[in-house]
Amino acid sequence: MKPKIFVAREVFDETLAFLQQHADLTTNQADQRFNAQELAARMQGIDGVVLTTAERVDSDLLEACPSVKVFSNAAVGYNNIDVAACTAHRVMVTNTPGVLDESVADYAMGLVIATCRRMTEGEHYLRAGEWKGTFLKQLLGKDVHGATLGIFGFGRIGLAIARRARGFNMKILYHNRSRAPEANEREVGATYVGKDDLLRQADIVLLIMPYNSTTHHFIAERELGLMKSSAVLVNAARGGIVDDAALIRALKSKQLWAAGLDVYENEPHFLPEFLALKNVVLSPHIASSSEPTRQAMAMTAARNCVAALRGETPPNLVNPEVVSRKLSTP
């Protein structure tokens, strides 16, 4: 008998075709957004779930859906899933690292440029019919070329961003939980510095780090106060890393020149004060949203799910202790 897989959001035809070869499917091609109770109802008797960061997995959901053996997240981040609770219930969790690195790096640099050069503000200015001609002090921005870029998070994506920054002749500083290999530093001319030193020196501070209990409000009032008043903050990582209320205060008071955001606390909800600010570029968490990349993410999640239900160790298993516990069970 084939295992039963629930696909929680709309996916691509090739992803469904692959899953149908290996499982009986329940799908959500209508792309409805389910609340916790609706999600639990659709997961009854299900063995594996392919989901996105829009779906929350916690102890209550796990208790309500005891048949589930694997949650396969179609994202590299998985802070929508209580991994500890899944491990306690012996449920595997997988993600999709690697396949989105280059697309996210492209978008992060685009967000840097759009923020520094006031691109969205300029578009709104034109659409509102305010453009009456060109003059010297019109929508003055910050140069990206030659600027000092400070990157928090120097994993695969951080390194990919640094490669792009080199093309703009930027000075690259970074801070990470641990220092990167010397070969990576040498490749992009990056210098490892402490957190506060990076904040003080960087013209552009870019966040591309995971969100967890240790990075919650990693950038808050104190950190914003250390940054140059001419600096730009770009968050292409996860909401919650930045204290959004503190950021709004800094932008309003001109303590910070501008910000570019693809993520927010409590998204898709966000603080409405952002909408009144001209010195912030707002984007709806789409850094990985190129068609080839999202297709690769969905297929990677599908392969992870199928591997888990075959009794194999999925290639992108977040909590491998689940497998070792199963092997040690009499």
| Contact status, residue 113 vs residue 144, Cβ threshold 8 Å | yes
Establish whether 285 is a catalytic residue: yes
Name residues whose C-beta falls within 8 Å of residue 151's C-beta, 6 or more positions apart in sequence. 158, 161, 162, 172, 173, 174, 175, 190, 206, 208
CA–CA distance from 313 to each of 104, 218, 326 (Å)?
Answer: 27, 34, 11
The Cβ of residue 315 has, within 10 Å, a number of other Cβ atoms equal to 12
Q: Which two tokens stand for residue 262?
A: 């693809």
How many Cα neighbours within 13 Å face the side chain of 290? 12
* 49-72 residues labelled b (16+ CB within 10 A) or e (exposed): bbbbbebebeeebbeebeebbbbb
What angle do the packed helices 101-116 and 291-309 form, to 10 degrees?
140
- Residue 234's SS3 state is strand
| Contact status, residue 234 vs residue 111, Cβ threshold 8 Å | yes
Dist. CA 139–CA 132, nearest whole Å = 13
DSSP-derived letter for residue 16 is H
Q: What is the dihedral of CA 317, 321, 326, 330, to 10 degrees?
A: 170
Among 175, 238, 294, 303, which one carries the catalytic annotation? 238
How many helices (H) and strands (E) are present in the chain, helices listed first?
13, 12
Dist. CA 67–CA 175, nearest whole Å = 42
Establish whether 123 is a catalytic residue: no
Establish whether 238 is a catalytic residue: yes
Q: Which two tokens stand for residue 73?
A: 């997240």
Catalytic positions are 238, 267, 285
